[in-house]
């Protein structure tokens, strides 16, 4: 099968590439974590379940309807499909979702602590990275907890005793948010090891979000 024969080839390729980046950037281990991208109002592409990221090819990336029906691909979608679908259903502004097990952010998830804005780059997510209540992985209940924590104003949440979920306008943007969450988690962890971090006020985060939205070319 050539690239011309694979529907949504570019998006499914991006999921493969970002999956490998999860390992390269130390945002997960093994086959942990998952990624998805909105294709249209009724379909998403999502990483497959249980396949090493290095082995995933574009044709392996399932295309799934919002009712959970697989319409392209021979592999099973990620077991966290219910969580991804919940985000897309609740947030029409979201075009990409990334779930990681990044170590510093997951440390705070295991503590049940939100990550506050002790570094200005947390503005990529909102005034903090909120934390969900605990729910079993791969369940609709976890999806409900994630979208409740995200609300309408956050681009990331900590999944208690589990990991991180980020959501933004595109898969590229959601991946950047995942990187920023882990970076800010590490800075906050290190700052707390030395002393008491200073937390930026919400109004400064709001101002920074406007600047970050217009950043770049």
128: left (phi over 0), alpha (psi -120 to 50) or beta: beta
How many angstroms separate the CA atoms of 58 and 89, rounded?
Answer: 25
Out of 17, 80, 152, 198, the active site residue is: 80
**The CA-based dihedral angle spanning residues 18, 148, 106, 22, taken in that order and rounded to the nearest 10 degrees:** 0
For this structure, is 80 an active site residue? yes
> CA nearest 100: which of 36, 195, 170?
36
Q: What is the CA radius of gyration of the chain?
A: 17
Neighbouring CB atoms inside 10 A of 161's CB total 15
- 36 φ/ψ angles, rounded to the nearest 5 degrees: -150, 165
| H or E stretch covering 36 | strand 34-38
Q: Exposed (0-12), middle (13-18) or buried (19+): which is 86, by Cβ within 10 Å?
A: buried
> CA nearest 50: which of 66, 62, 63?
62
How many angstroms separate the CA atoms of 115 and 132, rounded?
Answer: 12
By annotation, the residues acting in catalysis are 80
């Amino acid at each position: 099968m050539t690239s011309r024969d694979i529907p949504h080839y570019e998006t499914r390729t991006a999921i493969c590439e970002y999956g490998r980046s999860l390992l390269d950037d130390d945002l997960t281990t093994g086959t942990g974590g998952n990624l998805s991208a909105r294709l249209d109002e009724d379909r998403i592409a999502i990483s497959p379940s249980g396949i090493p990221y290095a082995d995933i090819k574009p044709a392996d990336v399932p295309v799934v309807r919002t009712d959970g029906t697989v319409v392209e691909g021979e592999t099973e979608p990620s077991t966290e499909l219910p969580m991804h679908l919940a985000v897309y259903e609740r947030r029409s502004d979201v075009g990409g979702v990334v779930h990681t097990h990044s170590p510093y952010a997951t440390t705070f998830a295991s503590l049940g602590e939100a990550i506050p804005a002790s570094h200005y780059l947390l503005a990529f997510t909102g005034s903090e990275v909120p934390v969900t209540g605990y729910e079993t992985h791969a369940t609709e209940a976890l999806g409900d907890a994630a979208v409740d924590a995200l609300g309408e104003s956050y681009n990331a949440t900590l999944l208690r005793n589990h990991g991180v979920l980020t959501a933004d306008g595109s898969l590229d943007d959601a991946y950047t948010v995942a990187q920023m969450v882990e970076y800010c988690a590490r800075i906050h962890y290190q700052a707390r090891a030395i002393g008491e971090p200073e937390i930026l006020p919400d109004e400064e985060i709001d101002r920074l979000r406007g600047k970050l939205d217009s950043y770049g070319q």
